[in-house]
Structure 1
Amino acid sequence: MLRSSTKVTAQSGTVDLVSVHTYRLTKTYTPDLYVASGRELGRTVTQLAKQLKGVVAHAHTVTVAATDSHSYRIDYGAMSEELTFVFRDRTEFELVCRFPKGTTSSACTELLTSFTLV
């Protein structure tokens, strides 16, 4: 496990990874920004997928820590990366899971269901 002031990462082998990154927002997030934030995140995730020579395979809303959150899965090569964005006040939490494409990740499920805002 690696830990810094803005990131915690756990990795198993060279493939499976779960990570939480925190970012400070310039403005306070409120639920009425959900649609606009989704548009911006969608553009950003699409650019990331292109950089990885992959595609955004899935985009949907998930509930994390009792909060509607944007979640995206990028498939690239033999890998999938799931990015989930949770906002609270002036903090963005980016939950990242990486796992072999075509599989599911119990660690990712555990991250999304156990993540809490304190």
Structure 2
Amino acid sequence: MAEETREELARQFSGDMHRGVAELARLGYDPKIFRMMLADHGAVEAARRLVADPKPSYGLWKLQEKNRLDASVEMWVLLPRYERLFDQTTRDQAERKLRLLGVDVGRELRQLAARLQPPA
């Protein structure tokens, strides 16, 4: 199978971000600001902007409170499948923010990646 283009990856990332927003709404948290960022900038740029802010966002704190940091933009930016969409600075910042919240990033990424694998 040919390697996916950056545009195909960006479309997949966008779909994942929109599904994530819908899932969070079902859990009782509506990430309004991120929804607006998605509409205004698209998923990849919205993620870059959110991660670039040095302070953890309100949404990141809310996700920690709900024990759902796996649904955070920061975690998805770090997924190996989306590595080509984000530069190392963005990825480092995402990891730093998660570590500030006490996340074992390696373990959480492995668990998230395993959940996303299609059944064999």
Q: Which has the higher contact order (CA 8 A, sep 6+)?
A: 1
TM-score range, shorter chain: 0.3 to 0.5
Superposition TM-score, scaled by structure 1 size:
0.35
Higher strand share: 1
